[in-house]
Structure 1
Amino acid sequence: MRVALLTEGARPHPRRGAGAWCDRLAEGLPEHEFELYLLTGPQGIEAVERLSPAWRGARDLALWGRRPRGRAPGALRRRQYARAYEELVRALVLPRERAGFAAGLYRLAELAREDATLPVFLASAHARRVLERVWRLPGADTSAGHPLVCDVLVAADLLEQCLRPLSAPWYGTGPGGLGSADLCHVVGAGPAALPALVARHLHGVPFVVTEHGLHLREQYLGYREAPYRWPVRALLLAFFRALTEETYRQAAILTPGSAHDQQWQRRCGADPARTRVVYEGTEAVERPAAGAGPQAPTLVWAGALEPGRDLELMLHAFAQVRDGLPGARLVVHGEEASPGYRAHCEALAERLGVARAVEFAGRPGSLADAWAGGTVAVFSALSQRRPGLLADAMLSGRAVVSTDVGVAREVVGPTGLLVPARDPRALAGACLALLRDEERRDRLGLAGRLRAQERFAVEPVIGAFREIYLELVSQYPAFPGGAADGSGRAPRPFARPAEFWLADGPRTPGAEETGYAADAAHAADGEGSDEAPRSPALAEAV
């Protein structure tokens, strides 16, 4: 079958699938034909990092940067665009009209497919006037801030960029069109889901959504520090929230990367019956376990240097570890993600009197080297949103201590020690317990490695998606736009045997239909006797 992979590969959004994960999926399912549709930055697909040479034929659309050029819509079409755009904006700012988001979205897509003038309209003064008028209506949700003219200009520009996929040249039924795909696979959700929603609306193509870290959650976290006023933030977050809800509503199957993400999806309206947890497989499961640890008892901490990782908690706990085990050391691996945070932590280590025993080693050459340089791997984050780093530490065979937040309990389970967040005494006690007990440390390290190998191997991921693809194609018609035989009836999957299509090409059902093909067609329609259909040649042979 033909599978269309839809994902982003452009900042300011994180990379969500244009690299190793999509490569492993395509390599693991060689029986299917994969095509990549990528939302990129202004430099185009050549600037996407880690894009495999196998995707050289990928189709891309610049999501950010300079507005696309084109002809302006006529007066009639401009009024049609304005009505659809107003319906979408009203759904974003008026709580009682939330249900109009999907109708406005799909109407814009239909109009854009007819004349391809949507980008010019969204960038026009007419669209900005529509946004300003609706945004300032009584009862509009502006997050307790009155939108100024500058807010209208900024928000109109951001909405234009978010809605660009509606005008992508991908929605036909010819070669390379999403309408001719058997299914779409969205990796990362967000704006990458817009082409899949349009393809489903126009052509009935089902789609799967895979999220390794929720897009909506990332937007809420990112917009806290965005350089926009509160009205603009409220409007854009309302757009992403409505888009997420519509994506979850229309997706045939959702595959979150953890049960923790699955709970978030359910809060956004996802149907539990259509949700299946599929962990993000990693090739690190084949990596050999780390060898003997350092002679001195060493705690190793890895992650971005930012307040959310709570290195301060680690330093306070390490000070207590040093009181019980004076020879202990702490190695910190990671790059500074929040300006000034490393200097703050170094000053804190000085005040606690442990600066000489703490090494800020920066970014490691590889995570395997980082874990090999420690006795115990420690995680002190306030929120553990993705399981990748925890799983990598467990695959090294080192015992793990982690705060009990996010996916930690799900990933570590009984093979490590979990402590409450913001509790330096509990964290220090867990670290001391493992540093002093080599037998327990080795036992937990081996158990953690086996658990991670079982859950994060690539083969179960490939097998899960092989079953999902076949299940979806078996439930959706091969010709969603209408009957292939011209009868007007909606086609059904597997309604005719393979011999019907292979003899002399597709035949028109009717009086000429004889033998096995006719019997099979009647059986598929619920007609005929209870006896199994039999071709004349087969009857003669019997």
Structure 2
Amino acid sequence: MRIALLTEGTQAGAQRGEGGWCGRLVDGLPEHEFRLYRLLPADRPAPPTGVRGLHGVHELPMWGRRPAGRGPAPLRRRSYLKAYEDLVRALVLPGERDGFGPALYRLAALGRDDDALPAFLASGHAHRALERIWRTPGADTAAGQPQVCDVLVAADLLEQCLRPLSAPWYGTGPAGLGGADLCHVVGGGPAALPALVARELHGVPFVVTEHGLHLREQYRGYRTAPYRWPVRALLLSFFRQLTEETYRQAAILTPGSAYDRQWQQRCGGDPARTRIVHEGTPATARAAAGAEPAAPTLVWAGALEPGRDPELMLHAFAQVRAELPDARLTVYGEEGAPGYLAHCEAIAERLGIAAAVEFAGRPDSLAAAWEAGSAVVFSALAQRSPRLLADAMLSGRAVVATEVGVAREVLGPTGLLVPPRSPRALAGACLALLRDHERRSRLGLAGRLRAQERFAVEPVVGAFREIYLELVSRYPAFPARPGTPARPFTRPAEYWVAGGEAPPPAAEPVAGPALAEAV
């Protein structure tokens, strides 16, 4: 089976996915032919993929200077302008939302014919259309009074976001997405654009895997983006509608947790086409942490920023210290907000616990951080990713966490959950563990076994082996193209049984039985 992996190389998660998660997927499924298609910054050298066993790597410069090229001819410009106006209306007018997908595919089809899409999006014709529609009465962003500078900035950002529509990847040859049996989008966002176009042009189905929801990260990132409010609103509207279109068209969605699944369903994801596949990690083979330190020690790890709420940990530890004078706290993590480390040190000094608290900075390894404590504590206000929690559980140390995000789903009955922003509850849970060695050992072992079961690499690879076969078996009737090699799933099984007459294709594929969520 020929599988196209689509990622966005500008995102830290995508880089991790290419070299780590995607690499493990390719290594675990050697029977399939994988090709990597990735979007990269235009002004930086391409990093190594870090994935062995690929049958090809295709890259598209996305962010940065526009690629050279001429705009469309005057007659053809009208078609471009009509499609672009429909796209902008869908972004700013509440009653025009349904036009987003058709306008997107129309722009892709036009750009495929003459390669003039990037130049058109940067032209004055596109700028004037954007300004006119953006200032239409009733538009979502009209109240912000977009200025000329906003139009120029937003037009440039939209051009960069839409570059995948003009990528040279949509042929039916072996290197084109039209020659793949399916596409696998890792990370969502703009990386899904080629998969949407391939589905529209060639009928190729696609899977979406998100270990950190792209739309959620955009909402968080644009809070501090260096743009005026109308520009931020327009770009967030684009990402929101792109996400909704992606979830609507995807054959199968594979979020990394039930918490992410709820976000996807809120954005239109179909529960019948959703399979939870936890993010596997090779750390499951790591040996458990050794003997505990002589003094009762709590370990806290994470970025030093308000969202991780190390202040809660410090106030809770002050109460722990009052009950256990020999208790210690080690804080691992780099400063995530300017001046926040000094702020935390001042709090520790004011609470009278500075002598028992060590701000150890970035650890040599996570395994070494967990081994330095008797128990591990997470006090975050939001826990979006299970990665750090699972790694702590794999150490065999007992875990205490605030009940937010994925914490309950990951820890289950193997750890202690407390309400957020409650120093008394957190201190009580920490004291309960520090005073009971047998309970710490029992919970630590149970947590390690639970993490090994849920986050091992082999179940993840097995889940995608089943998903790929299930998916391609439900999209059997790919049309044969003259001059292209035969494809393994060109004909459904019924074709050979029925004497060469294939049944008429269904209008929409039917989702198969749900795979096991805990893999």
Q: Which residue of 1 aligns with 2:515?
A: none
Q: AA paired with 2:30?
A: P
Deviation, structure 1 residue 491: 7.0
Hey, what's the Cα distance between the residues in 2 that align with 1:228 and 1:440? 52
Q: Tell me what 2:161 maps to.
A: 162
State the partner residue of 1:39: 39
C-alpha deviation, 1:11, in angstroms = 4.9
C-alpha change, 1:13 and 1:110, in structure 2 (3 Å) is farther
Partner of 1:521: 499
1:19 match: secondary structure: helix
SS at match of 2:34: strand
Q: Which amino acid aligns with 1:284?
A: A
Question: Contact 2:35 / 2:55 at 8 angstroms: preserved in 1?
Answer: no
AA aligned to 2:3 is V
Alignment of 1:224-373 (within 5 A): 224-373=223-372
Q: Distance in 2 between matches of 1:92 and 1:347?
A: 47
Partner of 2:472: 473
1:143–1:396 distance in 2 versus 1, CA, 3 Å? farther
Bigger Cα displacement from structure 2, 137-146 vs 22-31: 137-146
Please give the alpha-carbon distance, in whole angstroms, between the structure 2 residues aligned to 1:455 and 1:153.
Answer: 48
- Farther off after superposition, 278-287 or 339-348: 339-348
Q: CA deviation at 1:254?
A: 0.2
Q: How far apart are the structure 1 equivalents of 2:447 and 2:492?
A: 44
Could you tell me whether the CA contact under 8 Å between 1:143 and 1:234 is conserved in 2? Answer: no
- Runs of 4+ displaced beyond 3 Å: 11-16, 52-57, 480-485, 522-526
Shift of 1:471: 0.6
Three-state SS of the structure 2 residue aligned to 1:172 is: coil
**Alignment partner, residue 140 of structure 1:** 139
In 2, Cα distance between the equivalents of 1:367 and 1:399?
15
Matched AA of 1:176: A
Match of 1:20 in 2: 20
Structure-2 separation of matches of 1:339 and 1:522: 69
Q: Which amino acid aligns with 1:521?
A: G
- Equivalent position SS for 2:499: helix
Moved more, 12-21 or 138-147: 12-21
For the pair shown, the structure with the greater C-alpha radius of gyration is 1
Alpha-carbon offset, residue 522 of structure 1: 5.5
Residue segments in structure 1 that go unaligned for 5+ positions in a row: 498-518, 527-542
Equivalent in the alignment of 2:512: none
SS of residue paired to 2:417: strand
Looking at structure 2, the residues matched to 281 and 370 of structure 1 have their Cα atoms a distance apart, in angstroms, of 21
Describe the shift of the 1:57–1:43 C-alpha distance in structure 2 as closer, same or farther (beyond 3 A).
farther
The answer to whether the 8 A contact 2:135-2:142 is kept is no
Partner of 1:4: 4
Q: Secondary structure at the match of 1:47?
A: coil
Tell me the CA shift for residue 494 of structure 1: 2.1
Q: Distance in 2 between matches of 1:259 and 1:295?
A: 38
Amino acid at match of 1:255: T
Tell me which residue corresponds to 2:152: 153
Partner of residue 392, structure 1: 391
Task: Say if 1:125 and 1:379 are closer, same or farther in 2 by CA, change over 3 A.
Answer: same
Quickly say closer, same or farther: Cα 1:452–1:364, change in 2 above 3 A: same
- Deviation, structure 1 residue 56: 8.7
Alignment of 1:51-200 (within 5 A): 51-52=50-51, 54=53, 57-142=56-141, 144-200=143-199
C-alpha separation in 1, matches of 2:308 and 2:449: 26
Aligned equivalents of 2:109, 2:115: Cα separation in 1: 10
Q: What's the counterpart of residue 431 of structure 1?
A: 430
Structure 2 equivalent of residue 463 of structure 1: 462
Give SS of 1:331's match.
strand
Kindly tell me: are residues 475 and 484 of structure 1, through their superposed partners in 2, closer, same or farther at Cα, counting changes over 3 Å?
A: farther
Matches of 1:198 and 1:446 in 2, distance apart?
48
The answer on 1:412 being equivalent to 2:419 is: no
Deviations 1:97-155 (A, max 9, x none): 11110011000000011001101111111111111010000001118411111111111
In 2, Cα distance between equivalents of 1:54 and 1:40: 21
**Residues 293 and 374 of structure 2 are in contact (CA less than 8 Å); yes or no, is this contact kept in structure 1?**
yes
Give, as a single letter, the amino acid of the residue that structure 2 aligns with 1:251: A
Percent identity of equivalent pairs: 74
- Give me the whole-angstrom Cα distance separating, in 1, the residues matched to 2:472 and 2:45: 30
Asked if 2 retains the 8 angstrom alpha-carbon contact of 1:290 and 1:398, the reply is yes
Aligned AA (2:265): R
CA displacement at 1:18 relative to structure 2: 1.6
Would the aligned equivalents of 1:476 and 1:492 in 2 still touch at CA under 8 Å?
A: no
- Counterpart in the other structure of 2:444: 445
Q: Distance in 1 between matches of 2:473 and 2:149?
A: 51
Question: 2:514 maps to what in 1?
Answer: none
Deviation per residue, 1:33-90 (Å, 9 max, x gap): 0000011112456335x63355594111111111111122111122211110110000
Contact 2:414 2:444 in 1 (8 A): yes
Aligned AA (1:153):
L
1:182–1:478 Cα contact (<8 Å) kept: no
Q: Secondary structure at the match of 2:18?
A: coil
Deviation for aligned residue 1:15 = 3.6
State the Cα deviation string for residues 344-383 of structure 1 (Å, max 9, x = none).
1111111111111111111111100000001100000000
Distance across 2 between alignment mates of 1:176 and 1:45: 22
CA distance in 1, matches of 2:501, 2:153: 60
2:299, 2:375 within 8 Å by CA — same for their partners in 1? yes
Q: Secondary structure at the match of 1:17?
A: helix
Unaligned runs of 5+ in 2: 505-519
Contact 1:112 1:166 in 2 (8 A): yes
Task: Mark the CA change 1:128 to 1:284 in structure 2 (over 3 Å): closer, same or farther.
Answer: same
- The RMSD of aligned alpha carbons is 2.0
Between 20-29 and 120-129, the greater mean CA deviation after superposition: 120-129
> Which residue type is aligned with residue 23 of structure 2?
D
* Equivalent residue letter for 2:116: T
SS of 1:184's partner is strand
Name the aligned partner's letter for residue 245 of structure 2.
E
Q: Give the alignment of 1:218-229 within 5 angstroms.
A: 218-229=217-228
Distance 1:328 1:202, change over 3 A: same
Task: Report deviation, 1:17.
Answer: 2.0
Question: Structure 1 143/520 Cα, relative in aligned 2: closer, same or farther at 3 Å?
Answer: same
The answer to whether the Cα contact below 8 Å between 2:122 and 2:155 also exists between their aligned partners in 1 is yes
